[in-house]
Structure 1
Amino acid sequence: MSYRQLSQEERQELGREQRSYLWGLGLSLLLTLLPFGLAAFTDMAHLTLWWIIGACALVQIVVHLRFFLHITLARNKREDLQLILFTVLILTLLCGGTLWILFDLYQRMMPNMMP
């Protein structure tokens, strides 16, 4: 098998892409280990901890979209972003509707067990 030599421009593009993946990996590890460390090794209020975990999860979604899926706000990537936003909308409706139905059934079946 023969390998062709990369041009200077292709090597620069490969270097930029590898740096992007390394930045994404580093940020993902940080955003994963930070909440884990706070939950495991600190005595923080539960509500504050939940907010920090949620915020880190949302930031990590953005990191994955930007660094691994290469979804940006550039004009040529708008279709990809719209597709992802539509998918999030459908998943939100499905999950929200499911939770609504389950909590409604729970309330109807066990009204004296509600907090």
Structure 2
Amino acid sequence: MANAHSDGANHGSVKSYVIGFILSVILTVIPFGLVMYPSLPKMTTLAIVLLFAVVQVIVHLVYFLHLDRSPAQRNNVTALVFAALVIVLLVGLSLWIMFSIHTEMMAK
């Protein structure tokens, strides 16, 4: 029986899914442990949690969504970067507007 996705694209193997899963678990357990059993200053813990979150997003993109630098994935990576840029602009500019409005309202 022919595979519906037999266009030659890399759809991952069991090994890559297991590696991605193990990395995801590690990248979840360490920040969870730091938050549940605080042993570092709050700002250090926050920085570590944010760093692990970014690394985990990259792990998910590479191991589960199979985004890489291959020419076949160029359109997908471009769409992802554009969507991330739009989200950053929308959230960032919204926060800027709300902060400006708050500052103006408190000045009076």
TM range (shorter): 0.7 to 0.9
- Structure 2 match to 1:51: 47
Deviations 1:7-52 (A, max 9, x none): xxxxxx99x6111111111111111111110111132111111110
Deviations 1:41-81 (A, max 9, x none): 13211111111011101100100100010001112111111
Q: Map of 1:79-98 to 2, 5 A cutoff?
A: 79-98=75-94
- Structure 1 match to 2:23: 27
Aligned length in residues: 100
State TM-score, norm by structure 2.
Answer: 0.84
Larger radius of gyration: 1
Higher helix proportion, which one? Answer: 1
The percent of aligned pairs where both chains have the same amino acid is 34
Q: Within 1, Cα distance between the matches of 2:25 and 2:93?
A: 33
- Structure 2 match to 1:75: 71
Q: Which of the pair has the greater relative contact order for Cα pairs under 8 Å at 6+ separation?
A: 2
Q: Which runs of at least 4 in structure 1 moved beyond 3 Å after TM superposition?
A: none
State TM-score, norm by structure 1.
Answer: 0.79
- After superposition, the CA RMSD in angstroms is 1.9
- Structure 2: gaps spanning 5 or more residues: 2-9
Q: Within 1, Cα distance between the matches of 2:28 and 2:50?
A: 11
